[in-house]
Amino acid sequence: VMASYATPRIARSKSGADLLLDKMKQEQYRQDERAAIEYLNTILEMTIPLDAPLQYELSDGVLLCNLVNKLKPGTIKQVGQKDLSFIKVKRKRIKISCG
């Protein structure tokens, strides 16, 4: 019985086209994130800064709960504004330990 092994990939630096594609993807992501923030600001009558990282703004779940209630009132009975700093710190530690 002969074992089969994956062939190792040769590391190569990115070409100019790859770098351009990466830059275009990053720009599209920023535009999509900005559009999402503009939508949330309009729907929820809020003022999230357009340059704010959306992931951070959504991290405690309060904004999403408010969005759900705006779209379908009464779905979430109680939306807290609790300080969940310890949970955010725990998430950061998990993220750091996972790579």
Whether 53 and 63 have beta carbons less than 8 Å apart is answered as no
Whether 47 and 41 have beta carbons less than 8 Å apart is answered as yes
Percent of the chain with pLDDT over 70: 69
- Give per-residue pLDDT as tens, 4-24: 445 555 556 778 888 999 999
User: Which of 12, 30, 28 has its CA nearest to residue 20?
Assistant: 28
- The Cα–Cα gap between 33 and 23 comes to 15
pLDDT tens for the 99 residues of the chain, in order: 455 445 555 556 778 888 999 999 999 999 999 999 999 999 999 899 998 888 888 888 889 999 999 999 999 888 876 555 665 565 555 555 454
- What's the confidence (pLDDT) of residue 15? 84
- What's the confidence (pLDDT) of residue 23? 92
Q: b vs e for 63-80, b when ≥16 Cβ sit within 10 Å of the residue's Cβ? A: beebbeeeeeeeeeeeee
Helix, strand, coil percentages in the chain from 3-state DSSP, rounded to 5:
60, 0, 40
Whether 57 and 48 have beta carbons less than 8 Å apart is answered as yes
- The Cα–Cα gap between 91 and 85 comes to 10
